[in-house]
A and B are shown apart, each in its own frame.
Chain A
Amino acid sequence: AQSVTQPDIHITVSEGASLELRCNYSYGATPYLFWYVQSPGQGLQLLLKYFSGDTLVQGIKGFEAEFKRSQSSFNLRKPSVHWSDAAEYFCAVGGYSTLTFGKGTMLLVSP
């Protein structure tokens, strides 16, 4: 069965500092991988996705993620965090008909 692990429940980053959110997945074939963001009181919005090709994918809002098959990882990065990036971030792995989410990482941004 597919699964996703996000090791960090909370992360606090200073505004302007770089960010990396970790994601490890388990999937028996080539994975489809996603990062979603959830702002308070909102639904989830897609940041970026990987399904093939270049292992470094660019997303919206200045985010990027790198797929590393050897490490079963799909970490999310941003070079300079803005206060508006404070939200909960979910990594997900896609099977044929289902999307399995990690438990999320809450990002707090300090001034």
Chain B
Amino acid sequence: EAQVTQNPRYLITVTGKKLTVTCSQNMNHEYMSWYRQDPGLGLRQIYYSMNVEVTDKGDVPEGYKVSRKEKRNFPLILESPSPNQTSLYFCASSLSKIKADTGELFFGEGSRLTVL
């Protein structure tokens, strides 16, 4: 089954404790992206990757890191989490760049992170 898998789905952590949210897709997609969703703000892009070893900042990259060592994986790293990073995070992938007829995004089910 084609899917985007995120782990963990739920996490409560404390300020400053490094954490990683994993994302894996099995569709051989080139494009991957991380979004955060907050009430009243919709989805905002954190980072994206057009291909292996190619990553770039989205609209809200501060406090986050990513890597793309393999095509299927795109982990999101919070080196020193803070309470303002409490949010619902979504990983998404696409066959190609967004501005293309194959540019639809496939989303994971989300990871709800709480930072105390």
Contacts and interface: CB of A to CB of B under 8 A. Distances in A.
A63 interface: no
Contacts, number: 73
B31 to A, nearest CB: 8
Nearest to B101: A51
Given A44-B90, A90-B43, A96-B98, A49 B48 contact: no
Contacts of B105: 34, 36, 44, 46, 99
A96 B100 CA distance: 8
B81 interface: no
A103 B40 contact: yes
Which size bracket describes the interface of B in this complex?
20 to 34
Contacts of B79: none
Contacts of A96: 97-99
Interface of A: 9, 32, 34, 36, 41-46, 49, 51-52, 90, 94-104
30 contacts: A32-B99, A34-B105, A41-B109, A41-B110, A42-B110, A43-B4, A43-B90, A43-B107, A43-B109, A44-B90, A45-B107, A46-B104, A46-B105, A49-B104, A51-B99, A95-B98, A95-B99, A96-B97, A96-B99, A97-B31, A97-B50, A97-B97, A98-B33, A98-B59, A99-B45, A99-B98, A101-B42, A101-B44, A102-B42, A103-B42
